[in-house]
A and B are shown apart, each in its own frame.
Chain A
């Protein structure tokens, strides 16, 4: 494995948690994520999703792309790079952010961790090293990929605070959402814990080094068993993230650098990220284009949540106005066990994101025993997040 010429033998890397994930992956349900082999499920998607909303879940987030952004100019650089004011982020805090090219088209979204005055970490779905380095010209900052140097587990669900407390997490009760802390978790050693996640629920992300990854997994599973902790795969997480109304790059929008058909690129306002845009902070990539599009009425799309009639998920459905005019496309859809609603995220042409009333229909082809049932189901635009429990923000968190 040390011979780097042999990648053709193992196109997919293994996560530092792979030995544990493999043992629990009873159906051999694997899928690649960012070049790493990851579990789609651990045998029962419904039970796994239920654990995210009822008890606690463990999900391997090691494959997430991570960049270290360090140097005296790091904050100024990030102010210039991203839509939000990174320099306003306190040390020990986390920011959900996004960044654009000069045309104001979104390159990706991600979470930005401020680890020190001059030390940041950017976590995202896609790879951006050239863009990040080229944007650094003129700033006293270094950018390096640290994806494989950091292992991460996402611990999410109503008993996640109980689990992490049982694992030895100190001062956890006062840790607020989007804040991070260093902790020592017994045999798992020192870790960084952030109160972040992709489920819209109470939860934490726990970061360590690959050499201590298995100790962390074992320690959390042992501490979590009385609190009904179970590992979950990407399928269960995907249900939870739709319930939370979260978007994923290249699933709900196409990253501008990968867009082949130019009309597929989207500005932040067109994928529901307009709230991030801080026009008052000074120059940043895409600022002029975003402002021009806003002022010139040049925004064509919007990303909305949908509450669709019936119980057949609307994956891939086209949206019609009055049953005739195609006005959009569902990008993610699921029957939501938590809200008992048929939910979807969709890109929709303006102004129908606001003015469609009861006129939208989702065209669903449900394949049943080799025949399609074509359904035209009423779709109502619904506020995201679809599910937003108070425990998500409660500080100190409850035990369940």
Chain B
């Protein structure tokens, strides 16, 4: 499959690559790696002068490394790390410790990694919930065991009679039927119900339920009382850190370490990466994708074009609508990718002090929250519906430098605040929608900082620098349409063979030789790598005899 020259030779723009990948996000880089390791000549073009998309570490204040967008790691598939030898290229995942939700009355509810410490902590708030927690964790684990094997399989097309689709549908049916009637009913309910209703079946304590709600609304333009949020919880729970399912960790050096390791592995496999190469449009000629045109007019030709951009950006912004089927375009337009979150990255002169926590509490090394009831989270969502950022925001805040010594100088800290809700466009009553301004952004940032200050007096005095990101910045810098961090919401209507568009869930675009590998595709968002890996599997399969030495690609580790 090699074209004219060896990869090390500088190329003129008129040679033909085996594949050009648009966007150096983590999924694009995963796809690029598998293809390059299979002997293809692969070029990745990235619009920014940095790579990684939303998995990026940047130094915006001297001596401090920020995880600017994504900030924790659990979903990234260990099979991919192993296939691509990412630890040898610098990727190290650090487990972190528990966390706490602060209560308005000055109390707190912590989580601990130790089972007995955790049980006794919950029992402080509700003895009944403390004992029910194990049953809840068991039930969630059952759902994880069902879904984990699906992550690294291409969804079947239920409308197809191809043998592979039929056998994959049969596989899904077998998995489902193996559950038994009660479990199957639970499964369907779980996949469709709200996290609030789901938690009510287990727990009575509102603070505990608020804590459990975090993962169910993260990145989602839904409130805890919206149907479909229970699945989002599962999406955040099904990852693991070294087999510890549901655990989360930090990438050492920030989330950019994931992208840097992928890039190093890719270059080691002979791949080519071009930063500062924004794509204006994807070239379609004679009914097939032939390459891309950069914004400066340069044409890059390739046997196939693989988009790491979300589907809206790919098909609505970077293609000529006349090249695409109208029905497909309609589906893309109605694909939900509403932004819901913002982010503050803060350089601190010293650790914040939360008087609620006892001395020596490990909670500062974990995730911190300031929303102590489900209702408060729902009211925060009400603001989003009204076109405002939440006045009483919902935070998933951490201090990675408590664990990672590379993020900040000794004694100083980097704090990452993930915040909901934050609409992609603002609305003032009847005035209609308007774009975010810098003043809006700063006011949003202030609401978040004020909230932290309420629980950590003196916090503001320790701030050295703040980066505030709203959906506007996420879209402008990372390229995520409407700032949706998952490249499309993770609701049941947009999952599995319906992701991103029914009939197009197998990573193929509607034009021959056009492929998709981003989080808009199955199994969706989070720094997981599975979409990129599955896309590579489909591309390599489509080449049949065309690949010499196919890259090692592990199946999912078996669930015992």
Contacts and interface: CB of A to CB of B under 8 A. Distances in A.
A binds B: yes
Contact of B97 (A47, A55, A310, A337): A47
B95 A340 contact: no
Interface stretch (B20-28, B401-409, B436-444, B464-472): B401-409
Interface of A: prevailing SS: loop
Interface stretch (B51-59, B85-93, B416-424, B479-487): B85-93
B78 A340 contact: yes
Contact of A50 (B87, B95, B243, B557): B95
B70 to A, nearest CB: 19
B241 A46 contact: yes
Contacts of B243: 311, 335
Contact of B242 (A43, A312, A335, A400): A335
B355 interface: no
Interface residues of B, number: 29
Interface in B233-278: 241-244, 252
Interface residues of A, number: 31
A231 to B, nearest CB: 14
Given A159-B405, A340-B78, A46 B242 contact: yes
A373 B558 CA distance: 11
Contacts of B88: 339
Given A54-B92, A228-B403, A337-B242, A366 B560 contact: yes
Interface in B57-81: 78, 81
A339 B87 contact: yes
Contact of A54 (B241, B403, B411): B403
B113 interface: yes
A53 B95 contact: no
Interface string B543-557: 000000000001001
B404 A54 contact: yes
A312 B113 contact: no
Contacts of B410: 162, 226-227
Interface string B383-422: 0000000000000000000111110001100000000000
Contacts of A312: 560
A54 B406 CA distance: 9
A368 interface: yes
Given A226-B410, A312-B560, A335-B242, A400 B86 contact: no
B47 to A, nearest CB: 31
Nearest to A307: B82
Contacts of B558: 310
A167 B558 CA distance: 47
Contacts, number: 67
B540 interface: no
A395 B410 CA distance: 21
Contacts of B94: 50, 54
A27 B82 CA distance: 33
A227 B252 CA distance: 14
B82 A368 contact: no
Contact of A338 (B78, B87, B560): B87
B557 A311 contact: yes
Contacts of B241: 46, 337
B242 A226 contact: no
B114 interface: yes
A341 interface: yes
B359 to A, nearest CB: 13
B59 to A, nearest CB: 15
A162 B92 CA distance: 20
Contacts of B114: 27, 43-44
Interface string A190-214: 0000000000000000000000000
B242 A228 contact: no
Given A226-B410, A228-B403, A44 B113 contact: yes
A242 to B, nearest CB: 14
A54 B82 contact: no
A353 to B, nearest CB: 23
Interface string A8-38: 0000000000000000000100000000000
Contacts of B557: 310-311
Interface string A370-400: 0001000000000000010000000000011
Contact of A226 (B87, B93, B411): B411
A158 interface: yes
Interface in A219-268: 226-228
A46 B95 contact: yes
Contacts of A54: 92, 94, 252, 403-405
Of the listed residues B243, B405, B557, the one surrounded by the most CB atoms of chain A closer than 10 A to its CB is B405
Contacts of A387: 87
12 contacts: A27-B114, A44-B97, A50-B94, A54-B404, A55-B403, A311-B557, A335-B242, A337-B241, A338-B92, A340-B82, A387-B87, A400-B406
Given A228-B402, A338-B87, A387-B87, 12 more contacts: A44-B114, A46-B95, A46-B242, A47-B97, A50-B94, A54-B94, A54-B252, A54-B403, A162-B405, A337-B241, A337-B242, A341-B82
